[in-house]
Chain A
Amino acid sequence: MEAALGLMRRIPPKHSVTALSALVSLLPNHSSDLLSQVDQPLQVLCDSESGKEFILCEYNRDADSYRSPWSNKYHPPLGDALLPSDELRKLEVEANEVFAIYRDQYYEGGISSVYLWEDNNEGFVACFLIKKDGARTAHGRRGYLQEGLWEAIHVIEVGPEDETTRYCLTSTVMLSLTTDKESSGTFNLSGSIRRQMTMDLPLADGHLCNMGKMIEEMEGKLRNSLDQVYFGKTKEMVCTLRPPSEVVMRLPNS
């Protein structure tokens, strides 16, 4: 299993879907572990009732159906399926509404979904997802066709309510950027990073406020990290392989 995860870390992100299904077929006994530990590009369905889109993930799936956070119904319909408790559903509805506004403020578009479910430790788990497809705003800048895809998955384990409640956040951001130059060149930068954060917070402001602030802080950190990682390290590598000519010319002639 460790070896399988090792493989996923090295295979180019653009092949991750193929790689994961290959691994699942090689290791059928580990399929549920693999599916829950490896992040895949987010897929979307349209809720037939509200006409709104929602994001698919392991946390709103039961068998082959997915539950919409807008109507709380499974698509395709599933009898006797897992549903959150009434109380949790109320929080889930509120979370989806507020998170949609947060999403709009930062992403100016995109799709978001929040799923809550009870866990075994008297607490609950929440999953906040965002998918933003920049290709829909393709600006043909000097003939460049740019594509950008940002997908964020935030899973928060919320501990039992006490004087303070423990929130464990694991966030993954997957990014894919492509430039297709007309002069027969391609440039693709993609990948994912994952971080964790744990906080103990009083319940005075409510769960949503606590979780929201953590996510906001985490997304900010990840965004900066991506800027430095994506645009920093890989660019640095390219310039190390072949330094720009200005640098080269300053070296003494051999």
Chain B
Amino acid sequence: MAEEECELSDEQKKEIAKWFLYNAPSGEIQYIAKDLRSVLNDDKLYDEATSEAFPLYNKSHLICLELPCRSGDVLITPYNELEENQFIEPRTAQIVTIDHVKQACTEVRPAADEELASPYVEEFRCALDAEILKYVEEAYPKGVCSVYCVDGKDAEGPGCNFEFAVVIAAARNSPKNFCNGSWRSVWNIKFKEDALEIKGKLQVDAHYFEEGNVQLDAEQECQDGTIFQAPDDCAISIANIIRHHEAEYLKSLETSYSNLSDKTFKDLRRKLPVTRTLFPWHNTLQFSLTRDIQKELGIGK
């Protein structure tokens, strides 16, 4: 098949390597990277691929890194990225520099005033952050969350629009039990003059790989809205909306599971034939077996 075909160019190999890295299941990119390094057998190419793929993976999977000195966590997302390796952590007003490939923080410094939102916007952000934190602590055993201002952070007063992104991430990695999974929800909230537009995207995935490779991959988008109120009231309102939609989504996932289990699986393969007995293989000794079996099983042909 490939004896005389021209070998792949370095660029092509790099693209393939990046594809593998980017499609790694939650929590498994380091394992994939290790195997990939073996397969590529070219450290320079491997380094190039990882330096390009890891940032994309990290941001898309909303990974959570511990801040130095255990002062908290920072989420790596497209919504709080300042420069390529710099991310803002608004709850503690810090800017974190990270190494994407090592998936670790390298530097932390306090945020400058210009990097933070205006006091007007910050009031809303802070109130919302507190409510979401309460919600996440109660709903997710190991959830992490943050609220970022993604637009209009310098808004000075009523009449100026701004936009937040609420990010909730929960991951459960149990490689010893051959099971990994993650929940990611991102809620975009546009604050307009008299109303709030809310859009959510929920993603769940799970990977079980003991003697096999089974993956769940589910996502859902939803929309809602509410009125513009004082920061605390907005926060409570938004948190309730999020809580409602996420709980509904979980219910619908459970329904999907039972539908697939009850209906589709049975449509694919029965537990036993209609005769409620195992297949009569014995009658295959004679040649006119097929006709005998058909008669026995009552198949008209």
Indicate if A146 sits at the interface (CB-CB under 8 A). Answer: yes
Contacts of A31 in B (CB 8 A): 1-2
Contacts of A32 in B (CB 8 A): 1
In the complex with contacts A179-B260, A212-B279, A237-B206 CB distance below 8 A:
yes
**A238:B31 contact, CB within 8 angstroms:** no
State the Cβ distance, A135 to closest chain B Cβ, in Å. 10
Which chain A residue has the least Cβ–Cβ distance from B134? A254
Contacts of B7 in A (CB 8 A): 28
Indicate if B293 sits at the interface (CB-CB under 8 A). Answer: yes
State the Cβ distance, B199 to closest chain A Cβ, in Å. 11
Which chain B residue has the least Cβ–Cβ distance from A207? B284
Which chain B residue has the least Cβ–Cβ distance from A22? B16
Indicate if B252 sits at the interface (CB-CB under 8 A). Answer: yes
Indicate if A87 sits at the interface (CB-CB under 8 A). Answer: no
Indicate if A14 sits at the interface (CB-CB under 8 A). Answer: yes
Indicate if B85 sits at the interface (CB-CB under 8 A). Answer: no
**A185:B218 contact, CB within 8 angstroms:** yes
**B181:A240 contact, CB within 8 angstroms:** yes
**A106:B270 contact, CB within 8 angstroms:** yes
Interface residues of A in 102-120 (CB under 8 A from B): 102, 104-108
Chain B 241-265 interface 0/1 with A at a Cβ cutoff of 8 Å (1 = within): 0000011011111101101110111
Q: Which of A73-81, A162-170, A243-251 contacts B (4 or more CB under 8 A)?
A: A243-251
**B270:A234 contact, CB within 8 angstroms:** no
Indicate if B120 sits at the interface (CB-CB under 8 A). Answer: no
Which chain A residue has the least Cβ–Cβ distance from B37? A3
Indicate if B176 sits at the interface (CB-CB under 8 A). Answer: no
User: How far is A184 from B8 in the complex, measured between Cα atoms in Å?
Assistant: 39
Contacts of B34 in A (CB 8 A): 3
Contacts of A29 in B (CB 8 A): 2
**A134:B20 contact, CB within 8 angstroms:** no
Contacts of A3 in B (CB 8 A): 34-39
Interface residues of A in 160-189 (CB under 8 A from B): 175, 177, 179, 181, 183-189
User: How far is A91 from B98 in the complex, measured between Cα atoms in Å?
Assistant: 64
**B16:A25 contact, CB within 8 angstroms:** yes
Indicate if B137 sits at the interface (CB-CB under 8 A). Answer: yes
Q: Which of B22-30, B53-61, B63-71, B228-236 contacts A (4 or more CB under 8 A)?
A: B22-30
User: How far is A181 from B260 in the complex, measured between Cα atoms in Å?
Assistant: 13
**B181:A234 contact, CB within 8 angstroms:** yes
Indicate if B187 sits at the interface (CB-CB under 8 A). Answer: no
Contacts of A233 in B (CB 8 A): 179, 206, 208, 214
Q: Which of B108-116, B138-146, B155-163 contacts A (4 or more CB under 8 A)?
A: B138-146
Contacts of B278 in A (CB 8 A): 213, 216
Partner of A15, one of B23, B180, B285: B23
**B212:A194 contact, CB within 8 angstroms:** yes
Contacts of A27 in B (CB 8 A): 39
Contacts of B267 in A (CB 8 A): 134, 137, 139, 148
Indicate if A56 sits at the interface (CB-CB under 8 A). Answer: no
Q: Which of A45-53, A121-129, A223-231 contacts B (4 or more CB under 8 A)?
A: A223-231
State the Cβ distance, A53 to closest chain B Cβ, in Å. 18
Interface centre among B16, B219, B220, B265 (most CB of A within 10 A): B265
Indicate if B290 sits at the interface (CB-CB under 8 A). Answer: yes
State the Cβ distance, A181 to closest chain B Cβ, in Å. 7
In the complex with contacts A107-B268, A185-B252, A241-B183, A26-B13 CB distance below 8 A:
yes
Which chain B residue has the least Cβ–Cβ distance from A232? B208
User: How far is A238 from B217 in the complex, measured between Cα atoms in Å?
Assistant: 11
Closest 5 CB pairs of A and B: A191-B214, A28-B2, A193-B212, A3-B38, A185-B220
Interface residues of chain B, those whose CB is within 8 Å of chain A, are 1-3, 5, 7-8, 12-13, 16, 19-20, 23-25, 28, 31-32, 34-40, 134, 137-143, 170-172, 179-183, 204, 206-209, 211-222, 246-247, 249-254, 256-257, 259-261, 263-265, 267-275, 278-279, 281-282, 284-285, 287, 289-290, 293-294, 297, 299
Interface residues of chain A, those whose CB is within 8 Å of chain B, are 2-4, 6-15, 18-19, 22-29, 31-32, 94, 97-98, 101-102, 104-108, 132, 134, 137, 139, 141, 144, 146, 148-150, 175, 177, 179, 181, 183-195, 205-206, 208-209, 212-213, 216, 219-220, 223, 226-227, 229-231, 233-235, 237-245, 248, 251, 254
